[in-house]
Structure 1
Amino acid sequence: MFHRIGQFVVKRAWWVIAAWVVGMIAIAATAPTISAQTDEASFLPKHYESIQAATVQEKAFPTSFTPSAMALFERNDGAPLTAKDKDDIAKVVQGLTDKKIEAVEKIVPVSDQTTSKDGKYALSMIAIDKTKQQDSKAFGDVAKKLREDGKSLAQGTDVKFQLGGNAAQALDQTESSGNADAVIAMSTVLLVAIIVGIIFRSILAGILPLLITLFFAFPTSNGVISYATKAFDLDSTPILSAILIVVVLGVGTDYFLFLLFRYRERLRAGDDRKTAVANAVGRVGEAIASAAGAVTIAFAALILSSLGMFKALGPALAIAVVVTAIAALTLAPALLTVLPARAVFWPGKKWLNEPSNARFAALGRTVEKRPAFVAIASGAVLVALSAGALNYNGIFDLAGSSMPKTAESMVVQDKLATGFSAGAAQPTHVYLSSTAGAKLDPGAFESYAGKLGSVPGIAQAAPKPQLSADGATADFTVIMKDAPDSNAAIDAVTELRDVAHASAPAGTEAKVGGLSAIYKDINLAMTHDYELVFPVAGLLILLILGLQLRSVVAPWYLMASVGLGFTATLGAATVLFQSIKGEAGMMFMLPILIYLFVVAIGTDYNILIIARLREEAREGRSPREAAREALRHGGPTVAAAGFILAASFATFMLAGNVFMLEFGFAMAFGIAVAAFVMAMFFTPAITALLGKKAWWPGHGAMPDHDPEAVEQREPLSVGKA
């Protein structure tokens, strides 16, 4: 099939290029605009208790609100607030109210209850229309207006105005991620151009993958993702933009390298330019399609996730990989067809001379002679690194991990923890409702609140709850001792729920909500995802490998090596950030992201090497000789592709926040392990040890070893391209 695709593209190269130009422009120009969501609760299904509690709040207390933003006031010199300062603060709050900023529903005046015990800080709570909270840009725009107007009103006084809370975090995160996206994109582009250019000693070879990915695959992917998001009512997540850039650039460059190395190899074997392109597609097309299929399946499996964040991320990345793979199999060979080979490899002068590949030839000989030692040694490295994963601890500080500590919303958050209870800014709520719709008995409130307040980790439970208009629901405000996104607060929610449910008076039921409860439910959803998404994706990838290799043996040890790559990567990141750097933990989503990129994309390199092993075996080489030749010819491709993709992910470490630092290191390390340990050592060594059994039941298609026939199949003398 891929030989036919190659021949079709070669014969109609200009038509293929024209179709891509027209299609890309049409899709990018007409695609709908999609806004990312920032509300953590919007990413949870309705059966989780925190979402049910939010529903109770909306029905029973329609006029109450959880503050979307918080205005923090303090003196410029850090001294306690004076009577004049409080008058100035009241004028600022009233001034903001009088401005009637769009979507701002309520601004609560400062009171003694919202002034810190040391008198240095005063807090005003702000409610914003909930519809704005579903759109990160609109939510941030309201915060920007509040921040600008508040600072303007505070000018000429001794009081400093600072804006915090979810809306301010959305604004700061948008500005921070915008800068990060630019840094990541620019760094990745430069790395790809420079590294590919150096590998092939060519200017154009370094530019071509950028042309294919940035000017065709990326805008086309973005457009198709927007169409799919709107058509299927999918969510969108703010982290997609940065990840999408690296996925398209990284995967696109990988597939281009797979093709270009084989194209050059065919030129050296004597094929003319067009024949070389067609043969390159025919020989490496199946590996590219299989690799893309495995990655697509892994990403698409996230549609089974309980979390909207991953439901949004998975299908979008799956679409991007499919579009990029199609570009690699059609647009890339079309460009190679119309460009003279000398131009592609210019100014290099020795591109027609086959190098000895001394390092990879030596590596191939080592695997050929001592496959058992290589398999055990590489496996031991992966197992040793995996041990570190036992200490992994997930944390939920999304804002703090995705923004620099100097961002205003982060400064406000730190000052709130200093001046007030750590959990005061985001209290937990226990909603006690009558199951029959009758009025609640107020006489039971104090006793119930006392039981809630006795739960470990609870600083205070209000003894007098707010009652709904019909008296059938009571809202007990509970203040955590720890920050709402801390593991201590999240753990306290478990016991709080047990006590709230067990102690509810007869004829009532309790629902526990609030930010800590949301994070607790996210944790439960993650556990569900680990138990469902990982196995489903693994089985589907196993099926793709089995179909490609016509074997039921090889896919199992390939998946075993990929699994070890996952645990080794998580272990290395845990040791670096928790044990050495001293962090309390790493972002809760890191394991799934490692799965996405290390397991999915890392499988590419295993597929390329195993496909070359199978090709060499089918030409009559013994299993050990096949391993030697696969590493000699395929090793440079895997090394180049792995190095470029690892370096691309490493650019995330330049973004300036903790999450991107952890993510960048883990991805770069994991890709390096996949390319330089699994694909270079573990996979070919195990295949050499198993011999023809690795291809069972398809080993019948493997001819017996015939040294003379193999010798006749060695590359022909160099012809002209």
Structure 2
Amino acid sequence: MKTPVTTEAPPPGRTGARRRALPWLVVVLWIAAIAVAGPLAGKLGDVQQDRAVDYLPAGADSTQVAEIRDALPGGEATELVVVYHRADGLTGADRETAAGQIARIARDHRLTGGDAPEGIPSRDGTTLMYPVASTAPGQDEDARTDFVAEVREVAEGGGGLDVEVGGPGALDADAQEVYGSLDGPLLYTTIAVVAVLLILIYRSPLLWLVPLVVAGVANTVSMAAAYGLNQLFDTPISGQSSGVMTILVFGAGTDYALLLVSRYREELRRHPLPYEAMLAAVRGCGPAVLASSGTVAAGLLCLLAADLNSSRGMGPVAAVGVVCALLAMMTLLPAILVLLGRRVFWPLVPRYGSAPKARRSLFTAMGSSAGRRPLTVLTGGAALLGALALGTLALPDGLKQEDSFIDRPESISAMKTLAAAFPERSAQPIVVIAPTDRADRALAEARDTEGVAAAERVRGDKEWTELSVTAEHPPQTAGETATIEALRDRLDGDLGSYVGGPSAQELDLGDTNARDRLVVIPLVLVSVLLILIALLRSLVAPLLLLTAVVAVWGASLGIGGLVFEPLFGVEGTDPGLPLLSFVFLVALGVDYGIFLMHRMREESLSGAEPRDAALTALRTTGGVVASAGLVLAATFAVLLNMPMVQLFELGFVIAVGVLLDTFLVRTYLVTSASVALGRRVWWPGPLSRPAPAGGRPVPVETTAAERPEREPVG
């Protein structure tokens, strides 16, 4: 006879009134938070900056150039190149069309130099380029974008004449358009992916919606908090950081929801009232969730030590997303679930006093194989990860500007056309900022530098003068890089000049990313290790987890090296990929390791032998953590559909890494290592010492986890 569902009415008196009031109070407080956060969240896009200069390191030459140009009369110039091209050679009519259009642009806009610029023909007669620059838009991003759009509206081809508008200003405008279009598709795609997975996991027409709504609330609050960081602390906000924050809120937040709901379902079978069951669930899984989210946030905050603006800004922004997800899932989600009662689980309602259907767990079988031959499994898994890590040797070279978009915009197409038509010179100037009293000497030194085709004054004030230098080699080639380095060597020191521009910016980005890796990676390792030592009361177990996640990072990058170019046609590696993927994979990988090791420690404290504790921890956490891993991997996989190569590569590496960690490293390698090490895994803590004489370990079949065993969530 089935046990009937007991009444869910709370007992009379103050305790019952408090139990009725507390969930409603939590919901009301979150509604108030949304009312405040909503308008602020809508302003996040207004402070988002995605020009190349906004990603630059604080102390680099190219950053100094950008800042000084902003302060020159008229501010930083918006530089464009209008390209006229006919494959079989330009006609006289083509040249007249080009001259007329450029003259109209000069009439409609205040161009640098005043008059319409002269066209520069290619040697083969197929291409004519016009450098067009204006300081009129100033620092207003909308005005810059409008200027580019208006030039493109005038510069039109037809009848076999191709007209494209490129240059740094057009590239910035295209990047702004791409990043500005990410928010909607990224959010909707993430919601759709999480919704489908939750429906499959919960098999309930209502339950899946609750964590999704709570994640949406957390995302709104996190956007408002990120806007607050920008206003209060001038934290840089980019399209990349805001997109990753959204992914983390839904991915990590859903993970916390899965763990809480799984424990709540279990406790509903033990407690007659949902309030009591939720209280027990929060007490049971809360410490592990708090520790794991704290570890993720601490790892992300290590990015504050980065010199690169984009990386330094992503740290606190992403950490805010994790904290908001934690707060929402541990307060608002429990309140809503208690108010909805057991019926939220329909049709699989967990009745008080019932037991879950007994079935053999996949993770029981996995644990058995790891437990029988732990050293064999450990050696084989380590060899596999090492072999995959060798794929990093095949990673494509540094990502060039023209390869940074999945779908090539007009500015990139124009750069390609110029590179083919003008192989003997660069169509993208190198910018030199020299003290005005030494500008003549700097100009002479620049013209005398090897690799320089031409150099001229542009504009200036009493303090600084801008020089435009044309290299003999195409942009972002080894020859142009050598020219930039030679200019810096000759113009530094007594001349006090700075060398910048788009190519110099890319060079500085690569150099700074290399420096940041040397600083941030050890900082992440040390901070995470200290947290794990405090949590697990051991030195060996934290080192085991850290070694495992670092191996996952290497293997994930290696898989990227094997497939980026051959399979996806990606022709370069974002220089920030190794650092960002390391921070996320270490933080998120340790996150899952905490759930396993924390449960293993609980079993050991209850008296279980090391082997039994490891296998029970795997069996009881396997289903819910596997579901969480699938959700997190799927949310980061959403980035594969984004139009920027940087986001594509980051999403791929993290998604692959999470899957490796969930189904190989945590399941087999960490469990095998724990079985092989035995009590030594808890050294030097008290659990590393043998049980007292006469003490009887708790058999694996009767541990706390089996009273009753958690119902699988998958």
TM more than 0.5: yes
| Contact 2:296–2:588 under 8 Å retained in 1 | yes
Residues 399/263 of structure 1: CA separation in 2 closer, same or farther (3 Å cut): farther
> Which residues in structure 2 correspond to 1:511-590 (within 5 Å)?
511-578=498-565, 584-590=571-577
Question: Which residue of structure 2 aligns with residue 261 of structure 1?
Answer: 262
Rounded Cα–Cα distance in structure 1 between residues aligned with 2:383 and 2:136:
53
Whether the 8 Å CA contact 1:429–1:513 is kept in 2: the answer is yes
Greater alpha carbon shift after TM alignment, 333-342 vs 33-42 = 33-42
Map of 2:677 onto structure 1: 690
Structure 1 residue 24 and structure 2 residue 16: aligned? no
Matches within 5 A, 1:465-476: 475=467
Instruction: Show the counterpart of 1:248.
Output: 249
2:32 is the counterpart of 1:41: no
Q: Give SS of 1:614's match.
A: helix
| Cα deviations by residue, 1:469-508 (Å, 9 ceiling, x for unpaired) | 8899794724141323x4664355335534666xx9xx64
Displacement of 1:160 in angstroms is 5.0
1:109 corresponds to which residue?
116
Deviation at 1:8?
Answer: 9.1
* 1:675-715 CA-partner distances (Å, limit 9, x unpaired): 11222122222222222332234325996552369737464
Q: 2:147 aligns with which of 131, 134, 142?
A: 142
Cα deviation, 1:239-260, whole Å, max 9, x if unaligned, reads 2333222111111111111111
Deviating more after overlay: 390-399 vs 545-554: 390-399
Percent identity of equivalent pairs: 27
Q: TM-score, normalised by structure 2?
A: 0.86
Kindly state the Cα deviation for residue 159 of structure 1 after the two structures are TM-superposed: 5.5
Amino acid at match of 1:94: A
- Residue 3 of structure 1 is matched in structure 2 by none
- Looking at structure 2, the residues matched to 525 and 598 of structure 1 have their Cα atoms a distance apart, in angstroms, of 21
1:381 Cα offset (Å): 1.9
The residue number in structure 1 matching 2:79 is 68
CA–CA separation in structure 2 for the residues paired with 1:470 and 1:709: 81
Structure 2 Cα separation of the partners of residues 718 and 682 of structure 1: 24
Relative to 1, partners in 2 of residues 1:273 and 1:422: Cα closer, same or farther, differing over 3 Å? Answer: farther
Deviation at 1:134, TM superposition (A): 7.1
Structure-1 separation of matches of 2:19 and 2:265: 18
Deviations 1:635-679 (A, max 9, x none): 001111111211222222223454443233212111111211222
Question: Which residue identity does 1:80 align to in structure 2?
Answer: G
SS at match of 1:330: helix
Change (3 A) 1:645 1:467: closer
Distance 1:141 1:80 in 2: 31
For residues 325 and 710 of structure 1, what CA distance do their matches in structure 2 show?
Answer: 33
Q: Distance in 1 between matches of 2:59 and 2:210?
A: 49
2:164 equivalent among 143, 162, 165: 162
**Partner of 2:310 in structure 1?**
309
Task: Choose which of 606, 619, 638 in structure 1 pairs with 2:593.
Answer: 606
Q: 1-side partners of 2:373 and 2:393: how far apart?
A: 32
Q: Does residue 363 of the first structure (1) align with residue 374 of the second (2)?
A: no
Corresponding position: 1:94 with 2:103 = yes
Letter in 1 for 2:485: T
SS in 2 for 1:452: coil
How far apart in 2 are the matches of 1:273 and 1:226? 37
Distance 1:97 1:580, change over 3 A: closer
Q: 1:166 to 1:676 in 2, by over 3 A?
A: same
1:281 offset after TM fit, Å? Answer: 1.0
Q: Secondary structure at the match of 2:206?
A: helix
- The 8 Å contact of residues 82 and 163 in structure 2, kept in 1 or not, is answered as yes
| Cα deviation, residue 592, structure 1 | 2.0
Alignment partner of 1:322 is 2:294 = no
Question: Greater shift after overlay, 357-366 or 509-518?
Answer: 509-518
Which region of structure 1 is more displaced relative to structure 2, 203-212 or 34-43? 34-43
Q: Tell whether 2:223 aligns with 1:201.
A: no
- The more displaced of 173-182 and 229-238 is 173-182
CA contact (8 A) 1:299 1:314 kept: yes
Farther off after superposition, 162-171 or 464-473:
464-473
Q: In 1, distance between residues paired with 2:571 and 2:503? A: 18
Report the residue type matching 1:483 in the other structure: P
State how far apart, in whole Å, the 2-side matches of 1:191 and 1:230 are: 32
Task: Provide the C-alpha distance between the structure 2 equivalents of 1:605 and 1:527, rounded to a whole number of angstroms.
Answer: 28
Shift of 1:430: 5.1
CA distance in 2, matches of 1:522, 1:281: 44
* The 10-residue stretch of structure 1 (558-567 or 645-654) with the greater mean CA deviation from structure 2: 645-654
**2-side partners of 1:256 and 1:472: how far apart?**
57
Letter matched to residue 26 of structure 1: V
Q: 2-side partners of 1:663 and 1:71: how far apart?
A: 33
Counterpart residue identity of residue 685, structure 1: S
* Structure 1 CA distance for aligned equivalents of residues 666 and 18 of structure 2: 32
Gaps of at least 5 residues in structure 2 are 1-16
Whether the 8 Å CA contact 1:164–1:412 is kept in 2: the answer is yes
Are residues 1:82 and 2:87 paired?
A: no
Q: Residue 594 in 1 paired to residue 599 in 2?
A: no
Indicate yes or no: 2:391 matched with 1:388. Answer: yes
Instruction: Verify: 1:120 aligned to 2:126, yes or no.
Output: yes
Structure 1 position 414 matched with structure 2 position 416: yes
Q: Does 1:635 align with 2:660?
A: no
Tell me the distance in 2 between the aligned counterparts of 1:471 and 1:132: 19
Matched with 2:427 is 425
Which amino acid is the alignment partner of residue 342 of structure 1?
Answer: R
Deviation at 1:429, TM superposition (A): 4.2
Is 2:48–2:239's contact at 8 Å kept on the other side of the alignment? yes
Cα offset for 1:302?
1.1
- The answer on whether the counterparts of 2:446 and 2:469 sit within 8 Å (CA) in structure 1 is no
Q: Displacement of 1:10 after TM fit?
A: 8.4
Match of residue 635 from structure 2: 648
Residue 57 (structure 1) shift: 6.4
> After superposition, what is the alpha-carbon deviation per residue over 1:25-71, rounded to whole angstroms, capped at 9, x for unaligned?
21222455542223333443453233345567678x85897652222
Question: 1:211 aligned to 2:216?
Answer: no
Q: In structure 2, give the amino acid aligned to 1:72.
A: V
CA contact (8 A) 1:203 1:347 kept: no
For residue 568 of structure 1, report the CA deviation from its aligned partner: 1.1
Question: How far has the Cα of 1:74 moved from its partner?
Answer: 3.7
The equivalent of 2:4 in structure 1 is none
Mapped to 2, the partners of 1:42 and 1:106 lie a distance apart of: 27
Kindly provide the CA deviation profile for residues 49-106 of structure 1, in whole angstroms up to 9, marking residues without a partner as x: 33345567678x858976522222345xx443334433332332232233348xx767
Q: How does 1:433-512 map to 2 (within 5 A)?
A: 437=437, 440=440, 445=444, 448=445, 452-453=449-450, 458=451, 460-462=452-454, 475=467, 477-484=469-476, 486=477, 489-490=480-481, 493-498=484-489, 508=495, 511-512=498-499
The separation in 2 between residues aligned to 1:53 and 1:714, in whole angstroms, is 62
Letter of the structure 2 residue corresponding to residue 647 of structure 1: A
Q: How many aligned residue pairs are there?
A: 687
Call closer, same or farther: CA 1:72–1:65 in 2, change over 3 Å.
Answer: farther
**Partner residue, 2:5:** none
Instruction: Indicate how the Cα distance of structure 1 residues 118 and 138 shifts in structure 2: closer, same or farther if over 3 A, else same.
Output: same
Equivalent residues of 2:425, 2:473 under 8 A apart: yes
Gap change, CA 1:661 and 1:262, over 3 Å in 2: same
Partner of 1:190: 192
Distance in 2 (CA, whole Å) between partners of 1:609 and 1:129 is 59
Q: Would the alpha carbon gap of residues 53 and 218 (structure 1) be closer, same or farther in structure 2, given more than 3 Å must change?
A: closer
Change (3 A) 1:189 1:438: closer
Matched residue, 2:293:
292
Mean CA deviation greater in 338-347 or 295-304: 338-347
State the shift of 1:634 in Å: 0.2
Mapped to 1, the partners of 2:561 and 2:636 lie a distance apart of 18
**Residue of structure 2 equivalent to 1:619:** 606
The change in CA–CA distance for 1:256 and 1:581 in structure 2 (over 3 A counts) is closer
TM-score normalised to structure 1 length: 0.85
Q: Which amino acid aligns with 2:257?
A: F
Deviations 1:102-155 (A, max 9, x none): xx767763424x2222333322323344875574x553333223323x15xx58
